[in-house]
């Protein structure tokens, strides 16, 4: 009888066991959060690639109708929160010109033109994306779409 009472009283976890379990849960949660951040970066990169393709298609439609690229000075124009940052595209060729999912710092779309050639570039969070490495551009860190021979790396920090 004493043995049964002692077993009932001794049930439970020691402090060490509880600390080990909490440490394991902490490690597992940090691994899961790191995986989620990587998945979010990949998802934003997929969105960037789709947006750059959409912008390039709208510019190509504009070129077909107007015989040239949208108006503006030769050089780089950065998206700055204005929904129609490439003049002449919206709403006829695209409902609104998309912005980068983050739209801060180097994470902006770049539109550059020289005469009747253009380039649209996005800086990607994940280096080595299959689409960015196979786009004919100068870096796997950027996804680039262009007309003619205008594939030149644009430095977003410049």
Which whole-number Å values give the CA distances from 71 to 78, 100, 120, 150, 158, in the listed order? 14, 22, 15, 17, 22
Among candidates 65, 158, 69, 64, which has minimal Cα distance to 119? 69
Predicted pLDDT at 106: 83
- CA 155/CA 123 separation, integer angstroms: 10
Fill in the DSSP letter of residue 41: H
SS (HEC) of 82-103 = CCCCCCCCCCCCCCCCCCCCCC
Strand, coil or helix: what is 144?
strand
For the chain, what are the domain ranges?
Answer: 2-146
- Each residue's pLDDT tens digit in the chain (158 positions)? 666 666 556 678 888 989 999 999 999 999 988 888 888 999 999 999 999 999 999 999 999 999 988 887 777 676 665 667 888 888 899 888 888 888 888 888 888 888 888 888 888 888 877 777 777 666 788 888 888 766 544 444 44
What is the reported pTM? Answer: 0.74
């Amino acid at each position: 009888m004493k043995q049964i009472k002692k077993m009932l009283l001794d049930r439970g976890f020691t402090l060490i066991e509880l600390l080990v379990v909490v440490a394991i849960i902490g490690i597992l949660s940090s691994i899961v959060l790191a995986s989620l951040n990587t998945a979010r970066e990949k998802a934003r990169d997929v969105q960037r690639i789709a947006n750059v393709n959409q912008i390039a298609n709208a510019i190509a439609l504009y070129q077909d109708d107007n015989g040239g690229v949208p108006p503006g000075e030769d050089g780089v124009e950065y998206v700055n929160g204005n929904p129609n940052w490439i003049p002449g595209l919206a709403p006829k060729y695209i409902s609104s010109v998309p912005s980068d999912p983050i739209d801060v710092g180097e994470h902006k779309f770049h539109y550059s033109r020289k005469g009747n050639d253009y380039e649209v570039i996005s800086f990607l969070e994940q280096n080595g994306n299959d689409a960015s490495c196979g786009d004919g551009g100068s870096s796997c860190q950027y996804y680039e779409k262009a007309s003619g021979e205008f594939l030149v790396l644009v430095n977003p920090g410049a």
